[in-house]
Structure 1
Amino acid sequence: MKHTISVLVEDEAGVLTRIAGLFARRGFNIESLAVGPAEKVGVSRITMVVPGDDTIIEQLIKQLYKLISVLKVQDITQTPSVERELMLVKVNATAANRAEVIQLVQIFRARIVDIADEAVTLEVVGDPGKLVAIIQMLNKFGIKEISRTGKIALVRESGVNTEYLKSLEAKVYQ
C-alpha cells in the first residue's frame, strides 16, 4: 500500500538529505517528494508517498522523529485530506487533431500554456487520479514530454471524507 507522509521540519541545510538517507539505508523508495515552505517562517513541509505496510511505515515514522530538525510527522493516508499535483505535458497537436486536444483540455479543466505548429503544452492541476486519466486520454495523440511535481496534501479541517461522499453519490445514481 502507498502511504502519504507529511513531515514538518526546521528549514535548514541538510535536513532533506538526512531524511532521504534514512529511507535509503532501510532500502525504501520514495515514490513522490514535494518540499516547500509551511505556514510558519523557518519551517518547511515535506510530503512523501512511500510504499509499505502499516508496520513498516510506523517504524519509519519513529525513525523520522529521531532526526534533528523534524518537528512533526503524520501518516495522512487514511485521514480525509486535500491532495493535489501539478503536471506539465507536451502533446502532439497537428491541425487535424488540435480541436480534439483542446476539447480534452476543457473537459479536464487544464490550461494550454504553450502552443506551436505541431504541439501544445498543457498545465494540469488536480488529484493524482485526474492526472492519470488525462494521460490515458492524451496517449492517442502522442505525448512528447511530461514533468510532474510530487503530491502535496493537507488534512481536511472539516474532516469530510470526499471518497466516502463519492461512494454515496455513486449509490444514489445507480
Structure 2
Amino acid sequence: MKRIVTVTVLNQSGVLNRITGLFTRRQFNIESITVGPTETEGISKITVIVHVEDDRTAEQVLKQLNKQVDVLKVADITEQAVVSRELALIKVLTTPQTRAEINVIIEPFRATIIDVAKDSVTIQVVGNFEKIEAMIDLLRPYGIKDMARTGQTALKRGSQKQVLDAKPTTLLNY
C-alpha cells in the first residue's frame, strides 16, 4: 500500500541519509522523495511516497522516524485531504510541422514550452501523478528525448473535510 509521509527535520548534514537509510534497512521501496526548506530558517520538510505492506508496518516506520535525532515531526497524511503536485520537464523531438500539434496537446494540461531548439522543445508541466503520466503518454509518439521529474510533494489542506470522487476511497488532488 502506498503511503504519503511528511517529515519535518532540522536542516543538518546527513539527515536525509539517515532518513533514507531507515527505509533501506527495512527494504521499503521509496517511490518518490522531495526535500526543501520550510518557512522557518534551518528547518526542512521531506515528503516521501513509500510502499509498505500494511498499517502495522506503516506505524512502525513512523515510530522509527520519530526516534531520529534531527526529526521534529512525522505525519502520515495518506488518509487526509491533501494538495499534492509534481513537476516534470520533458524534452520532445519535433519538426516544424509537429510543433503546432504539440502545442495543441499540452494546452489542456496547462503546460508550457520553456525551451525551443531546432529539433526539440522542452515542456514544463505541474500537476498530480496521473496528469503528468497522461501527458507523457500523449507525447510519447513524438519521441521523448529526455525527462526529469521532481517526485510528489504534498501538504494537508487547510480544511480537513475529505473530498471524494466516484470511488469512495480516492481523494481528489486539486
TM-score, length basis structure 2: 0.91
Partner Cα distance (1:127, 1:160) in 2: 20
* Equivalent in the alignment of 1:17: 17
Partner Cα distance (1:87, 1:18) in 2: 27
Q: Is the partner of 2:142 in helix, strand or coil?
A: coil
Q: Which aligned pairs between 1:1-174 and structure 2 lie closer than 5 A?
A: 1-52=1-52, 53-162=54-163, 164=164, 166-167=165-166
Letter aligned with residue 24 of structure 1? T
What percent identity do the matched residue pairs reach? 48
Letter aligned with residue 78 of structure 2? T
* Equivalent in the alignment of 2:172: none
Where structure 2 has 5 or more consecutive residues not aligned to the other structure, the ranges are 168-174
Q: Is the partner of 2:62 in helix, strand or coil?
A: helix
TM-score, length basis structure 1: 0.91
Q: Is the partner of 2:29 in helix, strand or coil?
A: coil
Which has the larger share of helix? 1
**1:115-138 deviations in Å (ceiling 9; x for gaps):** 112210000011111111101111
* Equivalent in the alignment of 1:171: none
CA RMSD of aligned residues (A): 1.3
Partner Cα distance (1:35, 1:50) in 2: 15
Q: CA deviation at 1:150?
A: 1.6
With 43-52 and 17-26 compared, the bigger mean Cα shift is at: 17-26
Partner Cα distance (2:135, 2:27) in 1: 32
Letter aligned with residue 40 of structure 1? T
Where structure 1 has 5 or more consecutive residues not aligned to the other structure, the ranges are 169-174
Q: Is the partner of 1:105 in helix, strand or coil?
A: helix
Partner Cα distance (2:112, 2:56) in 1: 41
Partner Cα distance (2:162, 2:148) in 1: 29
Partner Cα distance (1:20, 1:92) in 2: 35
* Equivalent in the alignment of 2:170: none
**1:41-69 deviations in Å (ceiling 9; x for gaps):** 21110000000122211110010011101
Q: CA deviation at 1:140?
A: 1.2
Q: CA deviation at 1:160?
A: 4.0
Partner Cα distance (1:122, 1:155) in 2: 28
4+ runs of 1 displaced by more than 6 Å? none
